[in-house]
Amino acid sequence: MTNAPATPPTSQIARLWEKSSGSPIKRGLFSAMYALKAPYFRTVLPRIQELVPGSHCTVRIPQWWGVNDHIGTFHAIAALNGAEAAMGLLAEATVPPTHRWIPRGMRADYPAKSTGGLTVTATADWPEYSSITRETGGQLVTIACTLVDDSGTVPVTAEIDIWVSAKK
């Protein structure tokens, strides 16, 4: 397994990010378009900060009344929506066009209350895709998501499993 891409990004979303990442306005447009692709992500107003295919994705999700829980902190499920947004973008940018991925499950821990918005960083150890063929089946990949609030506290951690398989 590896966590660094061996070749330049080949996915459409990775190429689009490369063109957009140099400007705050373009990053904002990229973030808005990404949230439109998966409309439920719009509920947490994700702002893509960094995307390095094969390595990590960092997404900022602001605190606003729509993501608050009954005690005024970031709602756990809203936080996990942000984690899924970061995971999905990393997977989409990393998994080559010869393969596909689908979420399989999620585990989460809520060790502390949050203060303010959250910065989500998704990372994974990626497989050697040449070993994933139609004949060998797929492979489970776990993407770790760490969510850090404005005070530097980690109020939520998550592991999201995806199933990677060769396209038919």
Whether the model pTM is above 0.85 = yes
Q: What's residue 2's pLDDT?
A: 53
Q: Which two tokens stand for residue 134?
A: 């139609």
Confidence of residue 10 (pLDDT cuts 50, 70, 90): confident
Q: Is the pLDDT of residue 5 over 50?
A: no
Domain at 12-166, CATH homologous superfamily? Hotdog Thioesterase (3.10.129.10)
Q: Are 164 and 132 in contact (CB under 8 A)?
A: yes
Q: Where are the domains of the chain?
A: 12-166
Classify 90 as helix, strand or coil. helix
pLDDT tens per residue across span 23-71: 999 999 999 999 999 889 999 999 999 999 999 999 999 999 999 999 9
Q: What is the 3-state secondary structure (H, E, C) of 14-47?
A: HHHHHHHCCCHHHHHHHHHHHHHHCHHHHHHCCE
Q: What's residue 6's pLDDT?
A: 45
